[in-house]
Amino acid sequence: MGATTNDRSGFDPYATAGAEEGTVYTAGGADWDAIVAAQAERGDERLVVNMGPQHPSTHGVLRLILELEGESVVEARCGIGYLHTGIEKNMEVRSFTQGVTFCTRMDYLTPLHQEAAYVLSVERLLGIEDEITERSKIIRVLMMELNRISSHLVCIATGGMEIGALTVMTIGFRDREMILDVFEAVTGVRMNHAYFRPGGVAADIDDHGMTKIAEAIDWLERRLPEYAAFCNENPIFIGRLGGVGKLDLASCMALGITGPMLRSADFAWDLRKQQPYCGYETYEFDVSTWDTADAYGRFRVRQEEMWQSLRIVKQAYERLQSTQGQPVMVDDPKIAWPAQLSVGTDGIGNSPEHIRHIMGESMEALIHHFKLVTEGFAVPAGQAYVPIESPKGEMGAHVVSDGGTRPWRAHFRDPSFNNLQAVPAVCEGGMVSDVVVAVASIDPVMGGVDR
């Protein structure tokens, strides 16, 4: 509640005039007993505690202002903005293709879903949705579903760590490494990929990438059952998560909650089914739900969703094998950037053939390449909003163009931002020890909240 001690007469330099009520304490470590004793002498059972923004259980720089009576949470409020990066504003001074390198950095656990929402909106503005190649759509689906599994693994791993289930944490990050290896083989980097581009994807998946995908599928099929063995019927795990952070369907609808939180209230809403994109309507998978509307139900939904995502990945992998050699970018040199990129034998640069073509054979190719890199392509004036189902809920990109080569405005509906509205509902009335579990079950990432 403040940053001063009683020795300074309760003055708080960070509070506005008249903002303070009661006595202000500063817990500097190893002095909690003294604070409790002083509070007990005052006879006031209500205590305001700051949890974060530097706290390992707030999933980033989230500040929770908790008002306690004993061990019970009377009031809980969120303080956000500590990770503000200006990503949306920066996108206004970059070309439409360069914008991908910004939005991929918002929620650093679901980068490919931000990229997908953005490029789908840009493609709608360009009017090229029907021209996107089948192979690029397959690659997008495969990469997004692997990203869904990796995001859920981090949620389950960190949630387990916070309640003392350290084995769940270690196996979660172990399995995520297999997926990050795939991302590195396909995109060149483990995160912040900028791999999805307006018109398709940056480069095709080569034989090495296909091998890594096959290895990841085999690994996950053997390892995912461990989470059920460790947690599903574990009485301690159920005791810590069962009945904690309850949020019924009516409350989810009132607060605009989506994703696993909504599906844990037994409502099968998934944009991959309700409003398909990237060809999801052609894949076989089920929407996972649970009926307890609590932290345990959200864990079970995410656990089952990993299996359903793996089911989609296997179908996409088979389709990639049957579409070898097909293009992964629209056949329009004024949009496709990099223009027909071919990677050299070192795996990191353009092939000599590509360089020879744009530098020594075709003046038109050099002009197109130069204009695409420096200026970008013009997008017709208008606005588009395309929502997709990210691992945390509805992710949408509202892109506005004034007819130029840069977005006039790019605004994202990040599910973590909306889902954080549920913090008071899932925390108030419970124990302070359950706040950690309740917040973990929301699975917020502050990079998406403070974009």
**Is residue 81 assigned to a domain?**
no
- Assigned token pair, 321: 């094998």
**Is residue 287 assigned to a domain?**
yes
The pLDDT, as a whole number, for residue 6 is: 45
Q: What is the CB neighbour count within 10 angstroms for residue 22?
A: 14
- 28: Cα separation from own chain's centroid: 33
The pLDDT, as a whole number, for residue 119 is: 94
Q: What is the mean pLDDT of the chain?
A: 85
- 393: Cα separation from own chain's centroid: 9
Residues 263-287 pLDDT 10s: 999 899 999 999 999 999 999 999 9
Q: What is the mean pLDDT of residues 142-162?
A: 92
pLDDT band at 363 (very low <50, low <70, confident <90, very high): confident
Strand partners, 73: 68
CA distances from 352 to 173, 360, 362 (A): 39, 11, 14
The residues near 257 (Cβ < 8 Å, ≥ 6 apart) are 247, 251, 393, 418, 419, 421, 422
The residues near 209 (Cβ < 8 Å, ≥ 6 apart) are 182, 185, 186
The pLDDT, as a whole number, for residue 32 is: 66
Rounded Cα gap, residues 14 and 86, in angstroms: 24
Residues 175-207 pLDDT 10s: 999 999 999 988 888 889 889 999 889 888 888
**Is residue 161 assigned to a domain?**
yes
The pLDDT, as a whole number, for residue 430 is: 85
Which residue type occupies 12?
D
The pLDDT, as a whole number, for residue 339 is: 42
357: pLDDT strictly greater than 80 = no
Q: What is the mean pLDDT of residues 406-423?
A: 92
CA angle 446, 310, 179 (to 5 degrees): 55
The pLDDT, as a whole number, for residue 8 is: 46
**Is residue 274 assigned to a domain?**
yes
Residues 92-128 pLDDT 10s: 999 898 899 999 999 889 999 999 999 999 999 999 9
pLDDT band at 27 (very low <50, low <70, confident <90, very high): low
**Is residue 239 assigned to a domain?**
yes
DSSP secondary structure string for all residues of 99-135:
THHHHTTSSTTSHHHHHHHHHHHHHHHHT-GGGS-HH
Per the structure, the count of domains in the chain is 1
**Is residue 142 assigned to a domain?**
yes
Domain at 178, CATH number: 1.10.645.10
**Is residue 163 assigned to a domain?**
yes
The pLDDT, as a whole number, for residue 1 is: 40
Residue 227's domain comprises 87-337+376-449
Minimal CA–CA distance to 259: which of 251, 268, 248, 250?
268
In Å, the largest CA–CA distance within the chain is 86
Q: What is the mean pLDDT of residues 312-319?
A: 94
Pair type for strands 200-201 and 196-197 = antiparallel
352: pLDDT strictly greater than 70 = no
Least confident of 60-74, 130-144, 322-336, 350-364: 350-364
**Is residue 235 assigned to a domain?**
yes
